[in-house]
Chains A and B, each alone.
Chain A
């Protein structure tokens, strides 16, 4: 008999007051008992709507069935067939809009906590599996992967398992891409990312850090001089957007990328770090996505009073519900229907306040969201000493600028055939944010896997 409790087993979390002062992981994960109990809520329905909601089509009811039986390793093997980064995706996937949104149990209550179960299974495997991954026999083909974020890691992993000689090139000094520079430790511990990278290395993948493709080596050189028969571009969307308002270059104004990179990649949150970061007293974060929540929660942990300034309402916030709730619990203020106009500073060029305007929602725009309209005469000054701009990012132009014949969209995204990730250049594939613009970890991972299959087909025929 399935467990008919209408609600999910709640996720154990660190106390909000406690955690708003540390960088340890917020969600603590299910115990084996909680996982089995939650797994028993799954009806194992025949038409499996959840699988349709998963970008990489994990056999969700099958893995959950194994969890219910207590065979966690079998569950892990089922997830691994479809996903390269289960411990990561179990934490950062927006399950509420994907698999869980389709769950039959969600009609009369809460859906099965698929994400939490995925995370439990992956963590159980990482803690209990002792066998290191084995390097398969080489098939002699060399493939280069540009970027070590979710799409690159997924593509490299799948190709390595098929016997390809894969080299991953990373511009920074550490592999992981947005998983290490962007997503904070309290949401995705860096040890988990390192574990995924280590597994790839066990599979025979070479990771070359400190190589900027497009600068140190071009894609054409990889193919002509270094003997790579195919290249996957997973260089992400790393270019931060600014608002182009007066005062944006004052001291104390950061892009979310810079603020998060200093804290996550460069460990500025540790007292012994050599990376400077401003410990603002009153911080405004502009934007409403997951990156805005991450930046706000980091600033809070460094001791600031933090407001999120967002020009629409709570309903339109693009961030995951869970992240918004966590931010609110941690004491972050939300100023909805508020839009910055300019930033003012003191004589030394430090931020002192941000001039804002009240907004109201008008007609829906092309994206279906109601566009904000300014309320005349509603300007006011928000006293702040630090402003973090979390307005989204666009693809890095370095590769486009140095690869002839690589077709891109006007906004910079690389043009690919969706089913294969094939670009306008033979042997060159691309996926993730470099193609779509800023999106999710799971979509990037899925694109990396799609390209790996296509590269395998392409090179098998050669």
Chain B
């Protein structure tokens, strides 16, 4: 059982929670993830570590309410307990020796991109953060990115925040203007990462993408999180979650991520109705 120390609503569908988990906080590094269960009989879901505080013994998670489980999680308040919380799992982001990096985040993926940018920035690396959201209302972590980057490029689909356009447009512009990156690190929706990788491949810039597939145990036991990287099957939970973006089969990953879409939609509706009932009685 892990206590929620702080809860903050970042935008209408994205929530931040700082959770007491001293053992996990002691070890966590950017790029790693945790698995949680909201309650007894709940589903196990992976969430990437958004921040950690070794002294306070806490892990910060940021999640978007997309399904029944994240909806239940979002119903919890400060002081409540999360039933199970295990980690840190997966491999940490490789940051050693990097001097100049473009960190490309999209939507709630920015929550994962942020600790990576922060770590790189702290070790003296020049960080260009390119972050994109659908619109101004959905923007998260703007200030955090400002302090963790040397250059922050804001993009939105509708132009209501920063420049109108896609993160790939901004990245292309930077590369074309002569910026030379040791590496590009991209975290966001699969389709966004796919196009970021296609772009950087043209310029021959090494690119790392953070994958967040369906998972159960997170220790290599189920193989549900497998994906094809360079023609080989890899398990995101133990071999990743970060992989060479130029080798990932994104189309397969996108198909696999939709395995339970119908089930999840149904479960989400059910949970909605359940909470509706509670709300009406209260």
- Residues of chain A at the chain B interface (Cβ within 8 Å): 171-173, 181, 209-212, 215-217, 238-240, 242, 244, 248-251, 254-255, 257-258, 261-262, 265-267, 273-276, 278, 348-349, 396-398
A-B interface, 9 closest residue pairs, ranked by CB to CB distance from nearest:
A349-B255, A258-B222, A276-B263, A276-B260, A210-B86, A255-B223, A238-B221, A173-B84, A258-B224
Indicate if the CB atoms of B233 and A171 lie closer than 8 Å: no
Given contacts A212-B89, A212-B219, A216-B24, contact A251 B41 (CB under 8 A): no
CB-CB nearest in chain B for A270? B41
Indicate if the CB atoms of B233 and A274 lie closer than 8 Å: no
Across chains A and B, the number of contacting residue pairs, with CB separation under 8 Å, is 108
B38 → chain A closest CB, angstroms: 9
Interface residues of B in 216-237 (CB under 8 A from A): 216-224, 226-228, 233
CB-CB nearest in chain A for B32? A215
CB-CB nearest in chain A for B255? A349
Given contacts A209-B84, A215-B88, A348-B255, contact A240 B68 (CB under 8 A): no
B65 → chain A closest CB, angstroms: 15
Indicate if the CB atoms of A251 and B88 lie closer than 8 Å: no
CB-CB nearest in chain A for B69? A274
Indicate if the CB atoms of A257 and B222 lie closer than 8 Å: yes
Indicate if the CB atoms of A398 and B219 lie closer than 8 Å: yes
Indicate if the CB atoms of B222 and A240 lie closer than 8 Å: yes
Indicate if the CB atoms of A398 and B238 lie closer than 8 Å: yes
Most buried by B among A211, A239, A267, A276: A276
- Number of residues from B at the complex interface, CB < 8 A: 40
Q: What chain B residues lie within 8 Å of A249 (beta carbons)?
A: 226-228, 233, 252, 256
A sample of 30 inter-chain contacts (CB < 8 A) reads: A171-B86, A171-B217, A210-B86, A211-B23, A238-B221, A239-B220, A242-B233, A244-B233, A249-B228, A249-B252, A249-B256, A254-B223, A254-B224, A255-B223, A258-B216, A258-B222, A258-B223, A266-B43, A267-B41, A273-B41, A274-B42, A274-B43, A274-B69, A274-B267, A276-B259, A276-B267, A278-B259, A348-B255, A397-B220, A398-B220
Q: What chain A residues lie within 8 Å of B263 (beta carbons)?
A: 276
The reply to whether the CB of B27 lies closer than 8 angstroms to some CB of chain A is: yes
CB-CB nearest in chain B for A216? B23
Most buried by A among B221, B233, B252, B258: B221
Partner of A215, one of B68, B85, B87: B87
Indicate if the CB atoms of B222 and A255 lie closer than 8 Å: yes
Indicate if the CB atoms of B221 and A261 lie closer than 8 Å: yes
The answer for the CA separation of A171 and B221 in the assembled complex, in Å, is 11
Interface residues of B in 70-104 (CB under 8 A from A): 83-89
Indicate if the CB atoms of A171 and B219 lie closer than 8 Å: yes
Partner of B219, one of A238, A274, A278: A238
Q: What chain A residues lie within 8 Å of B222 (beta carbons)?
A: 240, 255, 257-258, 261
The answer for the CA separation of A244 and B232 in the assembled complex, in Å, is 9
